[in-house]
């Protein structure tokens, strides 16, 4: 009995401010890129999808299993000057029965 393995990648995280309080309605972009195996250039990322953080600053996204590389990018909402790191790479976990989700958090500065 060979059960079909689910290789989708779950990404969860939160966006917090300098007081560690979740920030609602922040746009999180999902960037999708493909690297060319014939050269050494990094993947060229393009906007693929987006989600908003909920009332307590959390977001959730499911990346379907494919051959692309993904990054999660956080926009800077009005009232803030910057985010700790705009984009963070998603690690795809393969060949595990229940892969752990990617936890990707962002911190905003005033």
Contact between 52 and 26 (Cβ < 8 Å):
yes
Using pLDDT thresholds of 50, 70 and 90, give the confidence band for residue 41.
confident
User: Tokens for 68?
Assistant: 């692309």
Q: Give this prediction's pTM.
A: 0.86
Q: What is the arithmetic mean of pLDDT over 81-88? A: 96
What span, in angstroms and rounded, lies between the C-alpha atoms of 15 and 23? 6
Confidence bin at 42 (pLDDT 50/70/90):
confident
Residue recorded with tokens 């959730």: 60
């Amino acid at each position: 009995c060979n059960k079909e393995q689910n290789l989708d990648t779950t990404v969860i995280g939160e966006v917090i401010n300098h007081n560690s309080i979740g920030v609602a309605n922040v746009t999180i972009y999902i960037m999708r890129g493909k690297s060319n195996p014939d050269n050494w250039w990094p993947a060229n990322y393009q906007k693929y999808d987006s989600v908003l953080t909920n009332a307590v600053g959390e977001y959730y996204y499911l990346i379907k299993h494919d051959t692309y590389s993904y990054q999660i990018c956080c926009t800077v909402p009005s009232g803030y000057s910057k985010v700790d790191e705009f984009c963070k790479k998603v690690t795809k976990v393969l060949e595990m029965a229940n892969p752990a989700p990617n936890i990707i958090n962002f911190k905003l500065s005033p």
